[in-house]
Amino acid sequence: MRLVLLVLCSVAAFAQANSHVEIVPVRGHIYMLAGAGGNITVSIGPDGVLLVDSGLAEMSDQVLAAIRELQRRVSVNGAPAKPIRYIINTHLHPDHIGGNEKIGEAGKTITGGNVIGDIGDATEGATIVAHEKVLDRLSPNGTPTVSFKALPTLTFLSDQMKLSQFFNGEGIQIFHEKAAHTDGDSIVLFRGSDVISAGDIFLTTSYPIIDLANGGSLQGIIDGLNHILDLSVPRSMQEGGTMVIPGFGRLCDQADVTDYRDMLTIIRDRVQDMLRKGKTLDEVRAARLSRDYDRRYSTSSWTGDMFIEAVYTSLKNGAPAGGSK
Ligand SMILES: [Zn+2]
């Protein structure tokens, strides 16, 4: 539970520092919204708007304003804006799903029945997509711990799902990354744009948070990063090519993901080595195994010491069932 608390604390600090939402062009019709909690990916075009994650609840108005600004920019000859059709959630944390309710409902408002094909959906708002485990944890035994309207409305149980048809001119694939940041993580691949939304498996601002209480594991995070690398193609010499949107931080490419994966693999091996020698948590902490990375990744709310403790616990728990890909 302590880990969950830390997630919320670091998020609160982040939200306070960012009271406005920044629109970052990614490629073509794909944008990143930064500053609303976790990064939000936006696909906007003739079929409407699709979001990956929805930020903090208290930032929903600013997110909606940013979407309206994008709708205005892409509008051809002042044509009415197409609605928000989908919100795909990468995982269950409130800095990534907090806007589900308000932004999802706005999907209905923006639709407004102004397009014949949309009338059937007009009473439903946006479709909220997530892995089944996200719904299970948000609604244990069918009792929601968040507003009913914030819950996923379309879930999948298998390793991946595809949207049933092209959206804004491309296929969109959602992959479940088992027991990673949590046990319900998804990454989203925009196949034509060659953009991947990574969720909190990949951060540029800190060490990854291993949410052990929600089924996360270090090995699952490394496996997820390796999967992102499998899906990525560099333009040349590992630079450019596939763009990767992290859960927090700046827009990245394959080289950035490689560096992060390598850092985690090195730290995993160091901790694993001490575990094999029967060292205790105190001995592992005293060895300061992350010290060469702390300047870059240790933060006041998620220090290298806290991260090493989570790594130790995760490795001691053993590899997650089916966690390697
Ligand atoms: Zn998270």
> 221's torsion region: left (phi>0), alpha (psi -120 to 50) or beta?
alpha
Q: Separation of 243 CA from ligand 1 center, angstroms?
A: 20
pLDDT of residue 288: 97
Average pLDDT over residues 103-120: 58
Q: In DSSP terms, which residues pair with 240 in a beta bridge?
A: none
CA of 200 to the centre of ligand 1 (A): 5
Question: Which residues in 111-126 are b (16+ Cβ under 10 Å) and which e?
Answer: beeeeeebeebbeebb
C-alpha 181 to ligand 1 mean position (Å): 7
| pLDDT over 90 (residue 23) | yes
pLDDT confidence of residue 239: 64
Which has the closest alpha carbon to 236: 250, 253, 252, 258? 253
Q: What is the whole-number distance in angstroms between the Cα of residue 302 and the centre of ligand 1?
A: 13
Predicted local distance difference test score (pLDDT) of residue 120: 46
Q: Could you report the per-residue pLDDT of 166-218, keeping only the tens digit for each?
A: 999 999 999 999 999 999 999 999 999 999 999 999 999 999 999 999 999 99
Q: Is pLDDT of 138 > 90?
A: yes
CA of 132 to the centre of ligand 1 (A): 16
User: Which residue, among 93, 78, 114, 115, has the nearest Cα to 38 in the 3D structure?
Assistant: 93
DSSP 208: P
Cα 160 → chain centroid: 15
> In 3D, which of 242, 159, 266, 256 has the Cα closest to residue 202?
256
Q: How far is the CA of 157 from the centre of ligand 1 (A)?
A: 20
Ligand 1 centroid from CA 61, angstroms: 21
Q: Band of the pLDDT at 16, cuts 50, 70, 90?
A: very low
Whole-model pTM: value is 0.89
Residue 234's pLDDT band (cuts 50, 70, 90): confident
Which one-letter DSSP state was computed for residue 36?
S
- What is the 38 CA–ligand 1 centroid distance (Å)? 8
For residue 293, report the phi and psi dihedrals to the nearest 5 degrees: -110, -10
* pLDDT per residue as tens digits for the range 114-136: 444 444 444 579 999 999 999 99
3-state secondary structure of 151: coil
